Amino acid sequence: MRILLIEDDELLGDGLRTGLIQYGYAVDWLKDGISADQALKTENFDLVVLDLGLPKLAGITVLQNLRTRGQTMPVLILTARESIDDRVKGLDSGADDYLTKPFDLDELCARLRALQRRFSSRADPLLTHENIILDPAAHTVTLNNELINVSRREFALLQKLLENTGRVLSREHLSQSLYGWGEDVDSNALEVHIHNLRKKFGQHFIHTIRGIGYMINKDKDET
């Protein structure tokens, strides 16, 4: 799950970036409105955390530009406690949720999970496929009710695939959702994670679509 974090406060931004990475997100952090606007035009993100008070270009404009371009990913805005106007304007401009500063990282992550769930039209917080159950909140995966050890990347990759069953995800899309900018990525890193997931959960549940990417089939009883 790749997040674009847009926050000009060094201390808060650094803390959020570190915390979100610990929660298993790939995080790219930008500190002004113009570079955020540029990045959103050219890169894929699953979620956006947007401070409204930004240098160079206001957060609200970044948000309006994003929605004007027809980009639908969930956006959570960060606002100052006293500014009800900002919150109203933010929500009316296409934000999906907001938090007022100061806030708790656990709450931010819970809200991001809820946004992601709504965005993929899921009511159930658990992701289930055959005998695999992934719990995004507890950060656990079970196979036949037994806890399976997975790395942070394996977890993120499995979650992405399970949220998109029945759809082929390109290698590029998957890599982008696993790694932020500036992270050292081996060219075969994705293949290694897929290999490990197959070893842990069975050889056949992740399908290789040659030359394109990977897919998990929909369960038979899924519509």
Site for Ca ion, rule CB under 5 A? 8, 51, 53
CB 8 → Ca ion: shortest distance, Å? 5
In the complex, minimum distance from the CB of residue 50 to Ca ion, in angstroms, rounded to a whole number = 10
Q: Which token pair is 58?
A: 């206001």
Q: Which residue has the closest beta carbon to Ca ion? A: 53
Beta carbon nearer to Ca ion, 93 or 116: 93
Measured from the CB atom, is 83 or 140 closer to Ca ion?
Answer: 83
Give the number of other CB atoms < 10 A from CB of residue 41: 11
Q: H or E element: which one contains 132?
A: strand 132-135
Least spacing, CB of residue 152 vs Ca ion, in Å: 29
Judged by beta carbon, residue 79 or residue 116, the one nearer Ca ion is 79
- Output DSSP code: residue 146: E
Nearer to Ca ion, 86 or 154 (CB): 86
Nearer to Ca ion, 24 or 53 (CB): 53
Nearer Cβ to Ca ion (8/130):
8
To Ca ion, the closest distance from the beta carbon of 53 in angstroms equals: 4
Residue 101 contacts residue 80 (beta carbons within 8 Å): yes
State the DSSP H helix or E strand holding residue 140, giving kind and residue range, or none if neither.
strand 140-143
Q: In what order do the strands lie in the sheet with 2-6?
A: 26-30, 2-6, 47-51, 75-80, 97-101
- Which of these, 5, 29, 216, 21, lies nearest to 127 by C-alpha position? 216
- C-beta neighbour count of 119 within 10 angstroms: 15
d(CA 11, CA 46): 24
Least spacing, CB of residue 7 vs Ca ion, in Å: 7
- Phi and psi dihedrals of 185, rounded to 5? -125, 120
Least distance from C-beta 87 to Ca ion, angstroms?
A: 15
